[in-house]
């Protein structure tokens, strides 16, 4: 998306598998207003923001130290407050702050992450609807983490290390090992396997051993921990960019909200990578919706004031 104004934004290209003709390169607000008019509705779009900016604004409304917003759900993205004096393309006042939408899910598209991309990541990318795009997102977001884990389990089964080499049709089907399984499996104590048993039944796997269950638990933990650590690396880069004595990071999204250890693992690695930084990761519950409401209210008030 190329933002040209508060309520003027052009779609550069679709992501996450979406594809509709006649939209790329167009002002989406104009298209939305045309669609609204066809339905004869009294609705007006006064601002265009994404869920990441919404999370930041909702967080900043309650906490003036909030300078970064992150979405960790089905997809992932981040934004932060930047001084306009640091933006080469900025043509307005140089003593203001604006929100920079990083679209960090596309980090790695140029190959800079190839040194940590595994064979499992490559398989996930290959079966996705957008190969060679959103590389970082495919390593850390809820849409793909379950599939990363499935690829590992599939390899182990093929090598005879799981289920005595038996692979069910369900396990052999892409995207059928859901990311919610990771949360359910990791929410149990180390020795508990009740949730794993239920998940294996959903996958039509009945002949398994206790060792199989322990291996599955370990795989899920490694996949989710890696995602949290990679997310922390992104947070560190933004904390260094913002460069304040204390920063609140507003985070929204189902993965961050529901996974039992994601927050703690992110915090742990952020501290390890940037030990002198003072920060907090704070859940921005439905921040994207609240932030959108705040922007709409402020924009409507400004329009009313300008009209006298």
Helices (H), 17-141: 28-38, 51-62, 119-127, 135-140
Q: How many CB atoms lie within 10 A of CB 154?
A: 18
Active site residue 51: yes
Active site residue 16: yes
In the set 16, 197, 221, 271, the catalytic residue is 16
In the set 19, 40, 51, 180, the catalytic residue is 51
Q: Which residues of 284-303 are buried (b: 16+ CB within 10 A; e: fewer)?
A: bebbbebbbebbeeeeeeee
Structure tokens at 288: 């994207």
Rounded Cα distance, 285 and 291, in Å: 11
For residue 279, the cross-strand partners are 247
Please choose, from the candidates 305, 300, 250, 272, the residue with its C-alpha nearest in 3D space to the C-alpha of residue 81: 250
Please choose, from the candidates 43, 25, 69, the residue with its C-alpha nearest in 3D space to the C-alpha of residue 282: 69
Rounded Cα distance, 225 and 232, in Å: 10
Question: Which residues touch 201 (CB under 8 Å, ≥6 apart)?
Answer: none
Give catalytic residue positions: 16, 51
């Amino acid at each position: 998306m190329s933002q040209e104004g508060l309520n003027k934004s052009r779609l550069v290209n679709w992501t996450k598998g979406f594809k509709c003709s006649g939209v790329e390169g167009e002002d989406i607000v104009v298209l939305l207003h045309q669609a609204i008019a066809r339905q004869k509705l009294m609705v007006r779009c006064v601002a265009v923001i994404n869920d990441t900016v919404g999370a930041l604004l909702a967080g900043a409304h309650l906490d003036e130290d909030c300078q970064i917003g992150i979405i960790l759900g089905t997809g992932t993205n981040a934004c932060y407050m930047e001084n306009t004096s640091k933006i080469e393309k900025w043509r307005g006042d140089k003593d203001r702050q604006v929100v920079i939408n990083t679209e960090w899910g596309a980090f790695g598209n140029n190959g800079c992450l190839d040194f940590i991309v595994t064979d499992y990541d490559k398989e996930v990318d290959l079966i996705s609807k957008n190969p060679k795009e959103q590389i970082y997102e495919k390593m850390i977001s809820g849409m793909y983490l379950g599939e990363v884990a499935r690829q590992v389990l599939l390899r182990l089964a093929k090598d005879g290390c799981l289920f005595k080499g038996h692979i069910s049709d369900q396990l052999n089907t892409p995207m059928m090992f859901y990311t919610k399984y990771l949360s359910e499996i990791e929410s149990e104590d180390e020795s508990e396997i009740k949730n794993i048993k239920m998940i294996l039944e959903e996958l039509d796997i009945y002949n398994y051993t206790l060792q199989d269950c322990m291996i599955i638990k370990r795989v899920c933990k490694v996949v989710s921990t890696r995602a949290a650590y990679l997310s922390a690396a992104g947070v560190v880069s933004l904390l260094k960019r913002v460069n304040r004595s204390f920063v609140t990071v507003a985070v929204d999204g189902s993965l961050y909200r529901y996974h039992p250890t994601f927050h703690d693992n992110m915090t742990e690695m952020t501290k390890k990578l940037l030990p002198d930084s003072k920060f907090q990761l704070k859940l921005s519950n439905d921040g994207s919706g609240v932030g959108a409401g705040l922007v709409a209210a402020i924009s409507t008030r400004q329009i009313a004031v300008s009209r006298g």
